[in-house]
Chains A and B, each alone.
Chain A
Amino acid sequence: MNKQKKTIDVDYIAGLAKLEIDESKKSRFQEEMQNIVDYVDLLSELNVENIIPTAHAAQMKNVWREDVSENDFSREVMLKNAPELFDEGTIKVPQVLPGEGTA
């Protein structure tokens, strides 16, 4: 078994998740995440040769629905958690790309 240890880079993970992490907490996160990865890594000790990978415990397939539309949720309800709106129905978010004009 390949026992090369995977190390966690907290800054990189935080960057991907767009999170700013307090310098003082980094070592704690490092330790916690490393524990999780090491724990899951135990699986690599198993011999999985000839076993087809699966993402599910339940052996189901082709679970789908027919193409019928309905609209059960009002905009008011759906936008209740929106941080801020403009023009009554558009969600206002921090600027992502440069643009012109006012919202």
Chain B
Amino acid sequence: MKYDVVIGLEVHVQIKTESKMFCSCPNRYGEEPNTLTCPVCMGYPGAMPVPNRKAIEKAVIAGLMCGCSISEYSKFDRKSYFYPDMAKNYQISQYDLPFCLEGNIKVEGKGFSGKKIQIKNIGITRIHLEEDAAKSNHYAACSGVDYNKAGIPLLEIVSEPDIASADEAYAYLTNLKEIMQYGNISSCDMEKGQMRCDVNISLKPKGRKEFGTKIELKNMNSFRAVHRAVEYEIDRQAEALDEGVTLRQETRGWNDERGETYLMRSKESAHDYRYFPEPDLMPVVFTKNDIDNFKADIPELPKAKRERFISQFNVTEYDAKVLTAEKAVADYFEKGAEHTKSPKLLANWMITDLLKEISDSGLNINEIRVTPENLAEMIEMINKKTISGKIGKTVLSEMFKTGNKPSVIVKEKGLIQDTDESSIEKYVDKAIEDNPSQAEQYRSGKKNVLQYFVGQVMKQSRGKANPQIAIKLLKEKLG
């Protein structure tokens, strides 16, 4: 392509707290409209905001985890605008002195499209703390407003225009989400509006210094949608520029069903937010010592965790990647690993079986009935050859259904592996007797017929025969 793509992302993340940013209303999703409200978050005259200390701390920790420097002096400002989702007619935000400045997020590895991404640091300009607006729904003749969401602590994370492709945008978002979840800053559930993303994108002829006309993209409700919207927009803008069309600065929405962007509004007048310091709130001042204390609270980052898993538990790089993609999964694995001598086997079972059961069930790992201790107990049973791997699959799906301990399930269902040579010998004899032609094939040199006999023995023993013993006996008997 003969154009350079210039993308900056503006990500909003709701901070996970008990209460809202400036009042004590619960910070919860999914309640009846306007039930989580009070004079502060509904903007009644004279109501005074008081900041939530936890939200400020989480904002600082989020900044530290993104490599930002933390301001020793920060303050809140009023951003004026008139819209029904903001009852005060201003949003409390931060203008010139935000909590966090100048960080970065590294992107690398295989991109969403399958192509490789060159290692690159995407700069973060700033992270500031503000209050979320109310939820408005639009109908044919009116709009409706629900203030439950108004006043939820909200981080705005602004990237530098360092992103040059849909793959890089996707990787940046994935890493950012991982950090926010690992830091317990936010659950980042996009369907619940806990993480939202606006894209600024422009094209310029390769190598030129000045940026082209910036188009803002909104309404993407998944990272995949961001990826698609960016790809679409690159093509659209390149085509327009090829034809000599002058692009106008505008805001475009993303229609996921049609797979295209559409004009929402053109920026006929520049915004004039008339920022000024919030007189109802005092500045926030941190000493170097305070900031050092915050640093001590930073949880292990995904990358460090992956490296530790590989060295501590002897799992592969792939295992470590899958196990750390979500913090809850990583925590589950570590908990289980305390109770088994074979963490690698535990990792295998989690990746191939447990995560599959979880995705089939539509639950998340915190909701399932299989505890890490019980899964580890099952791994130990396989290790000690009390049960075979095959029986393990049955036991696991039973654990998933009932939440029972594997030892109980194995006992109740009579699934203990048979390691008694004399009883396995009976199955072996029967298998050979029933299949004389296969036995002949084996003897004449077709050694892979052995697998067929193992299958027969397992079938007759209903999976309980120890395969190693069965193989040993089969080899002896078949000569």
Contact yes or no, A89 B32, CB < 8 A = yes
Contact yes or no, A93 B142, CB < 8 A = yes
Q: Which A residues lie within 8 Å of B144 (CB)?
A: 86-87, 90-93, 103
- Given A65-B52, A73-B37, A75-B34, are A99 and B145 also a contact pair (CB < 8 Å)? no
Contact yes or no, A71 B26, CB < 8 A = yes
Q: Is B263 in contact with chain A by the CB < 8 A criterion? A: no
Taking the nearest CB of chain B, how far is it from the CB of A86, in angstroms?
Answer: 6
Main secondary structure of the interface of A (DSSP, over half): loop
How far does the alpha carbon of A99 sit from the alpha carbon of B139 in the complex, in Å? 4
Contact yes or no, B26 A61, CB < 8 A = no
Q: Is A79 in contact with chain B by the CB < 8 A criterion? A: yes
Q: Which A residues lie within 8 Å of B136 (CB)?
A: 93, 96-97
Q: How many residues of B contact A (CB 8 A)?
A: 53
How far does the alpha carbon of A6 sit from the alpha carbon of B377 in the complex, in Å? 77
Q: Which A residues lie within 8 Å of B32 (CB)?
A: 75, 89
Contact yes or no, A94 B19, CB < 8 A = no
Taking the nearest CB of chain A, how far is it from the CB of B297, in angstroms?
Answer: 15
Q: Is B17 in contact with chain A by the CB < 8 A criterion? A: yes
Q: Which stretch, B241-249, B276-284, B407-415, B442-450, touches the partner chain A?
A: B276-284
Taking the nearest CB of chain A, how far is it from the CB of B95, in angstroms?
Answer: 11
Contact yes or no, A69 B139, CB < 8 A = no
Taking the nearest CB of chain B, how far is it from the CB of A80, in angstroms?
Answer: 11
Q: Which A residues lie within 8 Å of B283 (CB)?
A: 55-56, 61
Taking the nearest CB of chain B, how far is it from the CB of A11, in angstroms?
Answer: 12
Contact yes or no, B146 A71, CB < 8 A = no
**Binary per-residue interface labels of chain A (46-74) against chain B in the complex, 1 for a CB within 8 Å, 0 otherwise:** 00000000011010111111111111110
Taking the nearest CB of chain B, how far is it from the CB of A70, in angstroms?
Answer: 5
Question: B17, B36, B55, B145: which contacts A93 (Cβ < 8 A)?
Answer: B145
Contact yes or no, B143 A67, CB < 8 A = no
Q: Is B54 in contact with chain A by the CB < 8 A criterion? A: yes
Give the residue name and chain of the B residue nearest to A61 (CB).
Answer: B285
Contact yes or no, A68 B19, CB < 8 A = yes
Given A75-B32, A89-B146, A103-B137, 8 more A-B residue pairs with CB atoms under 8 Å apart are A56-B282, A58-B282, A63-B50, A69-B24, A69-B26, A78-B42, A92-B143, A96-B143
> Which 5 pairs across A and B sit closest by C-beta, in order of nearness?
A99-B138, A55-B277, A67-B54, A69-B19, A64-B53
Complex A-B: 8 CB contacts under 8 Å: A55-B75, A56-B279, A61-B284, A62-B282, A69-B27, A72-B38, A75-B32, A94-B143
- Listed in ascending order, the chain B residues whose CB lies under 8 Å from chain A are 17-20, 24-27, 32-39, 42, 50-56, 75, 80, 82-84, 136-147, 269, 272, 274, 276-279, 281-285
- Listed in ascending order, the chain A residues whose CB lies under 8 Å from chain B are 15-18, 55-56, 58, 60-73, 75, 78-79, 86-87, 89-103
